[in-house]
Amino acid sequence: MALQWETNRALQARMAFALVLVVVLPVTFVYAFVLLMNTVGVELLTFATEREWRGRFYVEPWLAVGAVAVGFVAQYLLCERSALRAVGARRVDPDEYPEVHDALVRLSGIVGVETPDLAVARTDVPNAFAVGRRPSHATVVVTTGLLDLLDAEEIDSVLAHELAHIRNRDVSVMTLAYFLPSLAYLVAIGAYLVLVGVFKVLSGFRHVDDDGAKGLVVVVVVLVVSAVCTMLVSAAFWVGSFLLFRLLSQYREFAADRGAVAIIGDPSALASALRKLDDGMSGLPDTDLRDADGGIEALYVAPIDDYQFGEDRELISSDLFPATHPPVGERIERLRDLAREAEIR
């Protein structure tokens, strides 16, 4: 007897908690910089002007919330386009990949969601992911490497896995969860470019008189300290949000695996697909995997982060950060448990 589709209450609870943090953390990020300006910033002003500053910086809560809301709206509207561009994928018409399109239409009918668009990325890295603002506006992306590697039943199981993500709505949550890591990263990069610019300007000076040297030292100290503090704050929030992002990602993979089995009724097909994908990527050069990453490694059906760092891959991907996905072996074992569960029913 096949498994029935079940609403995953535990996943819903995790997504609700994640959404709260996704909203709160960016606002906290803004006020962390306000605090930074009222401590380090005030001291730098005192140092630069040689007089005490008693004023304090302040940001109205409505302004901070409004700015974050604008960022979320931009993320929400541009998420699909950005994800497709990041991996070099393009949406394809039904006549280009008719068998895949037909499978996607058939499986969407089974799971009860509107058929998502199909996009294909031309890369040897065998993988797939789903992205979208809501279940009625989603895109399933597959790579040519996956289509070449898997048989028809295995491709169906992967498509079902991605449709389960769409049905569970965790695709939308993951899309919004990318906002703070992206924001923190951009701010840190801006601070880093300021540092680079300072040192490039300094390298161009050959002789400065005493008054000019004093002014230059003040400017350099203010810029360097500001940039370093900005990078530290950004890094702290990037790490915190990324940890949350990855922990949510792990749980949702188990839920989507179970959902895929409920859709196609065959745990062995997905287990075989996961094993092939994992083995297929392990033999690829690290450069190919980095190119396929695109910053969306947590969205893929099979993990690629374990293969990106050569001999130190486990230290970086698992010890410093939680893995984006549960171990493939554990997922396969759970699929076998589902097969036994279906037989008992």
The catalytically annotated residue of 50, 52, 80, 162 is: 162
Task: Tell me what the mean pLDDT of segment 291-307 comes to.
Answer: 68
Residue partners of 116: CB distance under 8 A and separation at least 6: 104, 108, 130, 132, 138, 139, 140, 163, 166
pLDDT of residue 318: 42
Does 311 have pLDDT greater than 50?
Answer: no
Of the candidates 216, 230, 212, the residue with the CA atom closest to the CA atom of residue 48? 216
Q: Are 140 and 117 spatial neighbours (Cβ–Cβ below 8 Å)?
A: yes
pLDDT of residue 108: 94
On average, the pLDDT of the chain sits at 80
Percentage above 90 pLDDT, the chain: 25
Domain that holds residue 65: 9-344
CA distances from 78 to 133, 141, 339 (A): 9, 16, 39
- Give pLDDT tens digits for 97-152: 999 999 999 999 998 899 999 999 998 889 999 998 888 889 999 999 999 999 99
pLDDT of residue 294: 55
Tell me, yes or no, if 162 is annotated catalytic: yes
Residue partners of 191: CB distance under 8 A and separation at least 6: 226, 227, 228, 230, 231, 234
User: Number of structural domains, the chain?
Assistant: 1
Does 2 have pLDDT greater than 60?
Answer: no
Token match 């994800």: residue? 83
Highest-confidence range of 147-161, 164-178, 208-222, 234-248, by mean pLDDT? 147-161
Q: Are 110 and 122 spatial neighbours (Cβ–Cβ below 8 Å)?
A: no
Q: Reading across the β-sheet that carries 128-134, which strands appear in turn?
A: 89-91, 117-121, 137-143, 128-134
- Give pLDDT tens digits for 60-102: 989 888 988 888 888 777 778 888 888 889 999 999 999 999 9
DSSP string, 134-203: ETTEEEEEEEHHHHHHS-HHHHHHHHHHHHHHHHHTHHHHHHHHTHHHHHHHHHHHHHHHHHHHHHHHHH
pLDDT band at residue 233 under the 50/70/90 scheme: confident
pLDDT of residue 303: 79
Give me the sign of the Cα torsion angle 69, 7, 83, 78: negative
Does 315 have pLDDT greater than 90?
Answer: no
Does 192 map to a domain?
Answer: yes
Does 160 have pLDDT greater than 90?
Answer: yes
pLDDT of residue 293: 58
Give me the sign of the Cα torsion angle 43, 45, 47, 53: negative
Does 2 map to a domain?
Answer: no
pLDDT of residue 119: 95
pLDDT band at residue 314 under the 50/70/90 scheme: very low
Does 4 map to a domain?
Answer: no
Does 239 map to a domain?
Answer: yes
Name the DSSP letter for residue 315: I
One-letter identity of residue 170: D
